[in-house]
Amino acid sequence: MNKDYTDRVIHDSSDFVLIAEYIPDVIQEIRYYSTYNFVGERIDGYEEPCTLITKQAARALKNASNELSVQGYRLSLPPRKCC
């Protein structure tokens, strides 16, 4: 991931975090960053394939991910609009 972009996002004082920082093995499908979306080309403004999420939601998903891991699964987030 682009270091300048990561630094800008991580040092944001808001209550949002990168989901991959909380759950490193999360499966993300960030379609607007790729050509695999409804327009067939990358969407301007999507600089990195990452997901911003509130800390509260990240903690809840981390708990779910831990439970899935015990059962031999990984957390997979459905396709959505992300940063």
For residue 44, is it within any domain? yes
Q: Per the domain annotation, does 79 fall within a domain?
A: no
Give yes or no for a contact between 23 and 75, defined as CB atoms under 8 angstroms apart. yes
Bridge-based pairing of strands 52-54 and 16-18 is antiparallel
Closest Cα to residue 46, out of 55, 54, 36? 36
Instruction: Tell me the per-residue pLDDT of 36-76, one tens digit each, with 9 for 90 and over.
Output: 778 888 888 777 778 888 999 999 999 999 999 999 999 99
Range of the domain at 55: 3-70
DSSP state, residue 33? G
Q: Over the stretch 20-33, which tens digit does the pLDDT of each residue have?
A: 999 999 998 877 77
Q: Is residue 78 part of a domain?
A: no
In a domain, 46, yes or no: yes
Count structural domains, the chain.
1
- Distance from C-alpha of 18 to C-alpha of 2, rounded to nearest angstrom: 13
pLDDT score at 7: 64
